[in-house]
Amino acid sequence: MDKPDKNFTSQREQQLAKIRHFCAYRDRCHAEVRSKLLEMKVYGDELEEMMAELITDGFLNEERYARSYVRGKFRINGWGRNKIIPALKLKKIHSSLIKQALNEIDEDEYLEHIKQVIDKKYASMTDGSGYEKRQKLIRFAMLKGFELDIIEQLIDEISD
């Protein structure tokens, strides 16, 4: 009777070590870790205990994840707020954490980035009327996740 408990414990220890490594590799959200644990066939109370242990030990932190995600998607991928927000919601991050994480983006840096994106696209455009160019610029910048009012303001500055 003692032996199965020992195997269970060692199996749990192995699973915990594996999921800790998974979390240590890069920041993860709760949904990713929960999915990975389910993939490892960890269910019910055991899953919840492991999640709680990961949170307690600092391997799992939704706020840290959201901040890191926002920084990465903005600085590395060049995404705007309107593209970052749904991506975080898809990962089941709470709205208040998303709002906090978006503060990682400096407003001046954000506006400068949008301006650079629009300037670069505008310089590469060769044909079309002023109206067509404007519409293409708006569409392009919105696909990057930038806000329409900011885009229009910056395009007006370029056009003048």
pLDDT at 64 over 90: yes
Burial label for 136, CB within 10 Å (0-12, 13-18, 19+), is: middle
- Note the pTM of the prediction, 2 decimals: 0.85
Confidence class of residue 36 from pLDDT cuts 50, 70 and 90?
very high
pLDDT score, position 7: 56
First to last CA, the chain: 82
Query: CB 67: neighbour CB atoms within 10 A?
Result: 18
% of the chain exceeding 90 in pLDDT: 79
pLDDT at 137 over 50: yes
Residues 56-72, mean pLDDT to the nearest whole number = 96
% of the chain exceeding 70 in pLDDT: 94
